[in-house]
Structure formats: structure tokens, C-alpha cells
Structure 1
């Protein structure tokens, strides 16, 4: 893969809106109009983002179908390739995406953990590797047919005020 392909993939994932589109298409193939309706946007606005995600391999078009009025519709499904993709300076994008996705949820529907730790570099790296391994294990599992779609965000950062 060329450097420009990697850069295009990084740019594709540097948008909270595109990350939300991927989440909407993770478990169910959705058309551009369905995506736009769920996000409260104009279909023309979302089409640019959908095309970017298709061009970079993060969304795949599914079999064409006919809509209610006979119009041609193409549903899209997330490829799950975004999980391992490196994106420079992604933390603000992920945080903004989380804020947008949870804005309309009642607080009791959001489980949040926050704690303070003081670890040396070895223990920090060990903890993060274990957390990543647990998440990778669940990412590799097939979706449960009776499961409820949900999101998980884990953040780790230094706290310069706690020393």
C-alpha cells in the first residue's frame, strides 16, 4: 500500500461524521438516504462521506435493491477494516464522535469508568496491552444474533495535575 493510500485512509477516519457512518453500517447495511435520515442530514451531504469511505475500503456496497417508489438503492456495510488503521492525532476525533453519539442518550445508558493510577512505563504498557488484547478478542468474535449494538471507548492519558 502506498503512502498516499495510507494518508487517504487516515483522512477518511479523521471525521466524526464518517466514524458515525461506519458505526451505523457496522451491523446493518444502510442506504445513503437511511444514513442521512439517522444523522438528520441531507442525503447529498452524506453521499460525499459515504463515497470517501467506499473509496478507502471502509464501507462496501451491497447488492442493489429497489426502494418503496422503485428507485435504485445501494446499501453499504462497514468492512471493519478501520479497527487496525492508524490515524494521526485521532484522540480529539474519537472524543468528539463519542460526544455526538451519546448526546441524546439518557445518562443512565452510558457507563463510564474513570480512575487515577500511577504506573511506570513498563506497567502502563503492560496494562494497555492487556486491555487491547481483551478488546481484540471481542472484535474478532462474530456478532451475537440476539445481541444489542453498543459502543466501547477506553481512553488513557497522563494527568499532569496529579503529581
Structure 2
């Protein structure tokens, strides 16, 4: 044997690498704290120290989370800058990759992240709607497609200069509301 791998073996190696990368990305998004870091870095670059302060987390713990997000491509380091007393700071910015990443079994993480995000937000600033619908499979698919298209349209526009930041959370799920007895 010459040490070379066949095309089939190379494909397996690449598939394994892709699978490992997908698993690492899924693990990276399995933390509500890391999801919140991505939200905080979506429109503004922030340093590890700034993130730790905003999320009331130990800077060492935050560094672990930031490194995980950088290694998986969800955060990117920007050019270093001088901080207080001339200390070297590295700001990070979200890459947008999380928008295009499916999170298997991610619903509990997203719900927990949402609950953490709204903790302390005055009720008059929360615009929440809860609606029961009875839809055919075709109309359910239409609703999902139209919601996705609308959200995608606003995402693709990019941030408005001088705009305020908002978070949008939607959930469509079966309603375990049994029909009344006849």
C-alpha cells in the first residue's frame, strides 16, 4: 500500500469531517448563553469583557463560550483595538451563520433563550400574541412558507441605520386541545 487513499475513502473522511463539524455546530448552539451572545454581537462588535458584563457572567466562562462560537464559525474576531488603560481587546461579531443553521432538537434551547431574553423587560414593551388556528395541511404549509418568507425578507434587508434592536420569536406547534365530546 502506498499510503494514498482511494476516492471512496476520501469521501468517507470528508463525510466524517462534515458530520463532526455539524455536531460541533449543534453543540455550540445548544447553550442559551451562546445564543444570547450571538444576539448581542449581531449588530455591534463586542469584546469578551463586554459580553461577560452584559450577561453577568465570569469573563473566563465567557471566553470559553466565545471561543466555541469562533471555532464553529458563528462569531468572527475583528481587528484588535486598545481598551481601557491601553489593554488589547478583541471585538467579535456574529457571522449570520446561525440564521442558516438547523438546530436539531433545538426548541427547548430556543425557548429558554427567549425566556432569558425577556426577563426584566417591562410588559408594556412585549408585543405577544397567542392564537389558536385550525388549518388543513395545505394551509399550515402556506402559513409556514409565508412566515418564513416575511422574516427572511426583513433579515436580508440588513439593519436600519439608527434603528433599535428587536428580537422576534415565533412558534407554531400542535395544540393539544381535544375536541369537545358530542
Distance in 1 between residues matched to 2:176 and 2:137, nearest whole Å: 15
Does 1:57 pair with 2:87? no
For residues 146 and 162 of structure 1, do their structure 2 counterparts lie closer, same or farther at Cα, with a shift above 3 Å needed? farther
Unmatched segments (≥5 aa) in structure 2: 1-16
Classify the secondary structure of the residue corresponding to 1:83. Answer: helix
1:119 alignment counterpart: 135
> Which range is displaced more, 66-75 or 30-39?
66-75
Classify the secondary structure of the residue corresponding to 1:123. Answer: helix
Distance in 1 between residues matched to 2:144 and 2:175, nearest whole Å: 16
User: What do the CA deviations read for 1:75-103 (whole angstroms, capped 9, x no partner)?
Assistant: 00001110110111111111100110110
Q: Aligned-pair distance for 1:162?
A: 4.2
- Give the count of matched residue pairs: 163
1:142 alignment counterpart: 158
Higher share of residues assigned helix? 2
2:99 alignment counterpart: 83
Q: Aligned-pair distance for 1:13?
A: 0.8
Larger Rg: 2
1:3 alignment counterpart: 19
RMSD: 1.0
Unmatched segments (≥5 aa) in structure 1: none
Which of 3, 14, 32 is 2:30 aligned to? Answer: 14
Distance in 2 between residues matched to 1:14 and 1:97, nearest whole Å: 10
Classify the secondary structure of the residue corresponding to 1:69. Answer: helix
Distance in 2 between residues matched to 1:117 and 1:110, nearest whole Å: 22
Distance in 2 between residues matched to 1:123 and 1:105, nearest whole Å: 34
